[in-house]
């Protein structure tokens, strides 16, 4: 059975030594001294390691069942959810006005990583609730907030997001679900929504559905979409639960993974709903929380890679197979452990260097979100908007790849469900699809984010990398050669690609769009190259200080060197592909494929 | 529900226009005129498309069940197996002396592709039988051949290969299964074998297990391993079935995929076995059929990619979502089909160009195996031995990747089992693991095959590429620029990597082994680049001839251009990684990971 160990030491390093959260001028960060952060992460780790992780294979094996209209979650999920609620873990970064603890989002992100790594399917129940909370918090009326938020902060009521319909996922303008206005100001919602994660279950008193629907007579397409609150049970004026609303579960989907989460077809049959924000502005309401939601999915990608890596590493240390070609390492045993073999190490180092780089990238992104929200910093908001599709697309693609590679370390046992490695890969697979499939992320990046505000944010990114290199070079030849030079080369590839898009995309947008996926990955490598350079710098500083965990800092630098030497060269291939343009991509008639 | 269409047109093109099998001097090829090949492939296609493919999701959903010691296969499998047997499909390339049809292996390979694409789990039953047939045919006594082969050619009796034990897979020297000699010349086999595909089932009268075991007192390690025939039912002198042997199914494994195949734990409890070939030479007996077995797994990799691609393509043509940014393509519909979008095309072209290149590569390899076997051609044998780990490792890695990418085209539906795309990815996953995990293939390539016979075969490969380029350049600037120049550059990267291994591997073998995986992929890209160049040349010739399927040949060239422009640049990154050596790979102590 696989296990999970929360990476608190590394989380602390990223938060306090790299991002230096305790020294940042973002409101709310002033309380984050090392002891406070460590106490939170250590306490979260107990829940993640001892409660959520052991339930992960249970959720996978049992799955969710629809019995007489009621969704039954796997054995032990309710008790675990109660522990999570009682521990206040669902309220970490929520608004104190509604019962939240008001901690920075970056801390909630670090905790969320632990929970998601330990049990991705489980953590989607509070995760979706948090998304619905954020939408109501940002766009709901005071009355709506007062009615729904306190119960959602505690997860006594959970939440869902209802966007997709059978015939439309990405293209929500095709939506058919209708919202007919009633005399009392409410709406009657009718339609079918699919792929509704945590759509229904037996772990909360009420489920608060956020539903996108069209008000008849409104604008055509995406501009006619509005957002509604549709509670499973209507809420009386005194806050008590009232009548059952006309929303029901059509079925639970059989999926490749995340079996512990109930992915429902939801049927709305003149269900009572309440408009959030303005009519026809539903997409805008959804978009305001998209950075956060997509960052959360990018987090899922590397979190699954991390737990898979941890188990692959243990297996590689334990499993005796073959001998080190440079000399026996375990002369008293029948064979050497797998980890002596260079190709096993190559695989493990790929995983390790990705996971740690991704962690820094996501926490940095979370810090930007805090800066944008808590300081109304438009530059931070612009930069995180630019980087969001990279975080989502790159980290989930590579996260799945790493989980698959971790499975490979187990040989045949990796394919047997009992050993647990298959689940990590199967669960990680969804992150590439939901919350906007990765191809859509690439389109968002190249088709929208690059040119946003006149290209200001991507220029700011390049300036930041340039400044970082200029400020740090010339002090340590080894650091320059191992980190700054590859970072500079990769960043140059990214700029060249961007210039190619500007020049050739003008002539034909397909020249840019044909390279969008490669650009997203190219950008991801540059970001991880930047994070590794920052981490190596921080580790060097700690080593210079002396007295700390020397092995940890040296390992950090060595892992960074691996990423720079072995992963960053990928930017050259991405650039070549991008520069080959649209000709070969668009050459065939659809009929000739 | 997904479907499968056998790619007969493309198979015919590769066999007759590229490999020109009808014009080859290999014994047995002289009967392969176009009509004969087409008749075989068309007939096979009926079985693949109409019988095997519809059973594919059935096998996945039902799986195999162990009931009171008896393995039950999914509903419909027995009837399908009967149709396969009655059609003579299991005997295609078998020895006529034992009831086979004596057709070239290359034809059996093309048929095998269809069956494997249609239903990988099902096709493993005859596939494993063929492997066991080959081992007995190559190394068994005349009596053993007479007793077992006729029934195995018809698949009245099926076969298995028993290598792995719980504590050893790759390192078979650690094996514990014992074979104790008996006075009558037989052996008593005792031990446990795991991951035995088609280990037991209800579709044949008998199961002939080939079992690796150690005869007590023999040499230590891998040199003390012998190969035995252990029938489920002993065979009487008259060929009738006798007593049940002491071999039983311990359990059926729950796996990530290929649920339709029974992957068994087999327990041998003083089971009667018969030595094949010489004592302690079991590994040599296994190795002689390894090229064929591993080529068969490489085939599985691209075959799953093909069926996944076919379905993704249909979905991309049907599913309406979004609008072409360069102008609406479906003005009367609510949206344009997915296939108008550049990134969807990029994904589809990646799949298509891989599958078609891989097909040519595998058929070329099968032709080499025919040449090696039927003409005792040592050069062909050397070259296919060199290329076997590339075929197995590269094609299964990329095949899984393509199946995963095909799944991505479906968006959320790709994750729902009902749509069938998940199965293709889950099934394809095993091909990277069994028959030697891909890391072991890379080790075999770099640690053994490169230097085999003084490096003669890899030099022959480079000469072949060089000659091909020299012979074909200067006749068509477009062809030179689109095909020969990228092929030359990629081949140069491969040579540079080879030279790096020679120079640096001398100093420290880890410098070579740390780059083995990248080298395997680099080599694979060069091979596919060569195949695409050969295919483009053949298509150009057909276009020049005139009168044929112009769209097919033009599409072929366009698809080749895509591969050369978009996939071959990957060789540069592989080379960079290889040249970064072992330092960053081996830097960490195991304890510091």
Question: Cα-atom radius of gyration of chain A, to the nearest Å?
Answer: 24
> A386: helix, coil or strand?
helix
Q: What angle do CA A470, A475, A478 make, to 5 degrees?
A: 105
Q: What is the pLDDT of residue B287?
A: 82
Residues forming a β-bridge with B159 = B208
Instruction: Pick B590's closest partner by Cβ from A322, A339, A439.
Output: A339
Strand, helix or coil for residue A11: helix
Q: What pLDDT shows up at residue A287?
A: 82
**3-class SS shares of chain B: helix, strand, coil, % to 5:** 60, 15, 25
| The predicted structure's pLDDT at residue B286 | 84
Strands (E), B29-152: 65-67, 70-72
Residues of A in contact with B570 (CB under 8 A): 573
Contacts of B1 (CB under 8 A, 6+ apart): B54, B57, B420
pLDDT of residue A517: 98
Instruction: Tell the residue number behind the tokens 């059609």, with chain if given.
Output: B87
Residue pLDDT, tens place only, B525-581: 999 999 999 999 999 999 999 988 999 999 999 999 999 999 999 999 999 999 999
Q: Which of A168, A254, A516 sits opposite B321 (nearest CB)?
A: A168
Shortest CA distance to A225 belongs to which of A186, A269, A171? Answer: A171
Confidence class of residue A291 from pLDDT cuts 50, 70 and 90?
confident
Residues of chain A neighbouring B320 (CB-CB closer than 8 A): 167, 171, 174
Cα dihedral A62, A67, A71, A77 sign:
negative
The rounded mean pLDDT for chain B is 97
Enzyme catalytic residues of B = 435
Please name the residues in contact with A205: beta carbons below 8 A apart, sequence gap of 6 or more.
A151, A156, A157, A233, A241
What mean pLDDT do residues B448-462 have? Answer: 96
Q: A102, A94 in Cβ contact below 8 A?
A: yes
Do residues B115 and B299 make contact, with C-beta atoms less than 8 angstroms apart?
no
Q: What is the overall mean pLDDT for chain A?
A: 97
Distance from CA of A369 to the nearest CA of B (A): 28
Q: pLDDT, tens digit, for every residue of A398-446?
A: 999 999 999 999 999 999 999 999 999 999 999 999 999 999 999 999 9
Query: Closest to B408 (Cβ–Cβ): which among A320, A407, A437?
Result: A437
Does the beta-carbon distance from A517 to B254 stay under 8 Å? no
Q: Which residues contact B438 (CB under 8 A, 6 or more apart)?
A: A408, B392, B393, B396, B397, B432, B517, B520
Q: What is the pLDDT of residue B361?
A: 98
Residues of A in contact with B447 (CB under 8 A): 325
pLDDT grade for A285, boundaries at 50, 70 and 90: confident
User: Taking a C-beta distance cutoff of 8 angstroms, is the pair B587, A564 a contact?
Assistant: no
ipTM: 0.97
Residue A465's H or E segment, with its range, is helix A456-472
Q: A197-208 pLDDT, tens per residue?
A: 999 999 999 999
pLDDT (mean) for B319-338: 95
Q: What share of chain A is helix, strand, coil (3-state, %, to 5)?
A: 65, 15, 25
- Contact, A578 vs A515, CB < 8 A? yes
> What is the mean pLDDT of the segment spanning A185-192?
98
Q: What pLDDT band is residue A375 in, cutting at 50, 70 and 90?
A: very high
Contact A468, A530 (CB under 8 A): yes
- Beta-carbon contacts of residue B430 (< 8 Å; ≥ 6 apart): A415, B255, B256, B257, B258
A288 pLDDT exceeds 80?
Answer: no
Q: Is residue A300 within 8 Å of residue A428, measured between CB atoms?
A: yes
Give residue B289's pLDDT.
79
Say yes or no for a CB contact (<8 Å) between B593 and A555: yes
Q: Nearest CA to A221 among B441, B321, B159? A: B321
Residue of B nearest to A166 (CA): B413
Q: What is the pLDDT of residues B150-190, one digit of tens each?
A: 999 999 999 999 999 999 988 999 999 999 999 999 999 99
Contact A346 B254 (CB under 8 A): no
Query: What integer pLDDT is reported at residue A289 of this predicted model?
Result: 79
Is residue B382 within 8 A of residue B460, CB to CB? The reply is: yes
CATH for the stretch B289-436? 1.20.140.10
Q: In the predicted model, is pLDDT for residue B288 greater than 80? A: no
Q: Which residues of A touch B425 (CB under 8 A)?
A: 256, 429
Number of cross-chain residue pairs from A and B with Cβ atoms under 8 Å apart: 264
Whole-number Å distance between alpha carbons of A529 and A533: 6
Tell me which architecture the domain covering B158-280 has in CATH: Beta Barrel (2.40)
Architecture label for domain A8-288: Beta Barrel (2.40)
Among A304, A301, A308, which residue's Cα sits nearest to residue A407? A308
A272: β partners: A188
How much is the pLDDT for B1?
Answer: 87
- Three-state DSSP at B188 gives strand
Q: Please state the domain extents for chain A.
A: 8-288, 289-436, 451-587
What is the C-alpha separation between B305 and B309, in angstroms, rounded?
A: 6
Residue with tokens 């002033």: A30
Chain B: closest CA distance from residue A232 (Å): 24
- Residue A357 pLDDT greater than 90, yes or no: yes
Tokens (6 digits) for A177: 């679900």
DSSP A168: B
Within 13 Å of residue A73, how many CA atoms lie on the same side as its CB? 26
Contact B582 A343 (CB under 8 A): no
Which residue of chain A comes nearest to B310, CA vs CA? A593
Q: What is the pLDDT of residue B284?
A: 87
B411 to chain A: closest CA residue: A433
Question: Six-digit token pair at A439?
Answer: 């191809």
Nearest CA in chain A to B340: A590
From residue A160, alpha-carbon distances to A95, A124, A209, A228, B486 in Å are 19, 10, 5, 11, 51
Nearest CB to B345 within list A171, A408, A586:
A586
State the Cα–Cα distance between residues B84 and B114, nearest whole angstrom.
13
**Integer Cα distance of A46 and B393 in angstroms:** 41
DSSP B463-489: HHHHHHHHHHTTS-HHHIIIIIHHHHH
**Nearest residue of A to residue B417, measured between CA atoms:** A255
Q: How would you classify the pairing of strands B206-214 and B225-231?
A: antiparallel
* pLDDT 10s digits, A16-71: 999 999 999 999 999 899 999 999 999 999 999 999 999 999 999 999 999 999 99
User: Three-class SS of residue A397?
Assistant: helix
What is d(CA A465, CA A491) in angstroms, rounded to the nearest whole number? Answer: 8
CA distance B314 to chain A (A): 10
Region A72-98: mean pLDDT is 98
Q: Pairing state of beta strands B70-72 and B225-231?
A: unpaired
Report the C-alpha gap between A428 and B404 in whole angstroms.
12
CB contact under 8 A, B174 and A584: no
Q: How far apart are CA A427 and CA A439, in angstroms?
A: 19
Do residue A584 and residue B590 have CB atoms under 8 angstroms apart? no
Rounded to whole angstroms, how far apart are CA atoms B411 and A435? Answer: 10
Spell out which residues of chain B touch residue A509, defining contact as CB-CB under 8 Å. Answer: 325-326
Q: What residues are paired with A179 via a beta bridge?
A: A189
Residues of A in contact with B508 (CB under 8 A): 326
Of A342, A437, A482, which to mutate for an interface test with B (greatest number of B Cβ within 10 Å)?
Answer: A342
Give the architecture (CATH level 2) of B8-137. Orthogonal Bundle (1.10)
Nearest of B505, B514, B495, B496 to residue B577 by alpha carbon: B514
Distance from CA of B109 to the nearest CA of A (A): 24
Q: Which of A565, A570, A590 sits opposite B580 (nearest CB)?
A: A565
Helix ranges restricted to H, A222-341: 282-288, 290-318
* Residues of A catalogued as catalytic: 435
**What are the chain B neighbours of A312 within 8 Å (beta carbons)?**
none
- Chain B hits for A169, Cβ within 8 Å: 321, 411-412
**Record: contact A513-B325, CB cut-off 8 A:** yes
If pLDDT is split at 50, 70 and 90, which confidence band does B582 have?
very high
Do the chains contact at A344 and B439, CB–CB below 8 Å? Answer: yes
Residue B210 CB-density burial (10 A; 0-12 exposed, 13-18 middle, 19+ buried): buried
* Rounded (10°) angle between helices B34-46 and B105-118: 20
């Amino acid at each position: 059975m696989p296990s999970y160990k929360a990476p608190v030491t590394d989380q602390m390093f990223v938060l306090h030594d790299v991002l230096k959260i305790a020294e940042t001028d973002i409101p709310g960060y002033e309380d984050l001294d090392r002891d406070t952060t460590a106490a939170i992460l250590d306490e979260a780790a107990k829940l993640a390691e001892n409660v959520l992780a052991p339930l992960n294979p249970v959720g996978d094996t049992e799955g969710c069942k629809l019995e007489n209209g009621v969704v039954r979650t796997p054995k032990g999920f309710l008790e675990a959810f109660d522990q999570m609620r009682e521990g206040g873990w669902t309220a970490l970064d929520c608004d104190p006005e509604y019962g939240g603890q008001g901690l920075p989002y970056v801390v909630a992100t670090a905790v969320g990583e632990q929970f998601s790594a330990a049990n991705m399917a489980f953590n989607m129940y509070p995760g979706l609730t948090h998304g619905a909370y954020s939408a109501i918090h940002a766009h709901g009326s005071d009355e709506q907030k007062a009615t729904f938020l306190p119960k959602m902060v505690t997860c006594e009521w959970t939440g869902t997001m209802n966007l997709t319909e059978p015939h439309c996922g990405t293209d929500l303008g095709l939506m058919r679900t209708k919202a007919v206005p009633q005399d009392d100001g409410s709406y009657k919602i009718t339609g079918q929504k699919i792929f509704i994660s945590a759509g229904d279950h037996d772990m909360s008193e009420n489920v608060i559905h956020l539903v996108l629907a069209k008000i008849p007579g409104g604008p055509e397409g995406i501009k006619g979409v509005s957002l509604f609150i549709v509670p499973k049970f209507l809420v009386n004026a005194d806050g008590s639960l009232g009548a059952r609303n006309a929303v029901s579960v059509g079925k639970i989907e059989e999926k490749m993974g995340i079996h512990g989460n109930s992915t429902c077809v939801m049927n709305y049959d003149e269900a009572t709903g309440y408009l959030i924000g303005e009519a026809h502005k539903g997409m805008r309401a959804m978009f305001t929380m998209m950075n956060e939601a997509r960052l959360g999915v990018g987090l899922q990608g590397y979190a699954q890679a991390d737990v898979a890596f941890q188990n692959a590493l243990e297996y590689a240390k334990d499993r005796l197979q073959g001998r080190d070609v440079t000399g026996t390492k375990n002369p008293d045993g029948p064979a050497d452990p797998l980890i002596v073999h260079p190709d096993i190490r190559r695989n493990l180092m790929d995983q390790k260097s990705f996971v740690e780089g991704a962690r820094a990238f996501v926490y940095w992104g979370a810090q930007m979100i805090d800066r944008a929200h808590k300081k109304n910093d438009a530059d931070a908001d612009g930069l995180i908007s630019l980087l969001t599709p990279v975080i989502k697309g790159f980290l989930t693609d590579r996260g799945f790849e790493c989980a698959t590679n971790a499975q490979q370390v187990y040989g045949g046992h990796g394919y047997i469900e009992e050993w647990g490695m298959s689940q990590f890969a199967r669960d990680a697979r969804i992150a590439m699809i939901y919350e906007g499939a990765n191809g859509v992320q690439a389109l968002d990046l190249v088709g929208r984010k690059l040119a946003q505000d006149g290209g200001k944010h991507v220029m700011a990114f390049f300036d930041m990398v340039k400044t970082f290199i200029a400020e740090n070079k010339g002090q340590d030849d080894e650091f320059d050669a191992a980190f700054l030079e590859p970072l500079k080369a990769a960043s140059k590839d990214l700029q060249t690609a961007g210039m190619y898009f500007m020049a050739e995309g003008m002539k034909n947008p397909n020249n840019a769009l044909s390279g969008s996926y490669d650009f997203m990955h190219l950008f991801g490598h540059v970001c991880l190259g930047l994070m590794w350079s920052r981490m190596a710098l921080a580790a060097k500083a700690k080593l210079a200080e002396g007295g700390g965990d020397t092995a940890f800092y040296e390992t950090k630098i060595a892992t960074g060197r691996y990423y720079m030497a072995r992963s960053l060269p990928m930017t050259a291939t991405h650039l070549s592909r991008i520069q080959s343009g649209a000709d070969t991509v668009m050459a065939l008639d659809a009929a000739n494929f």
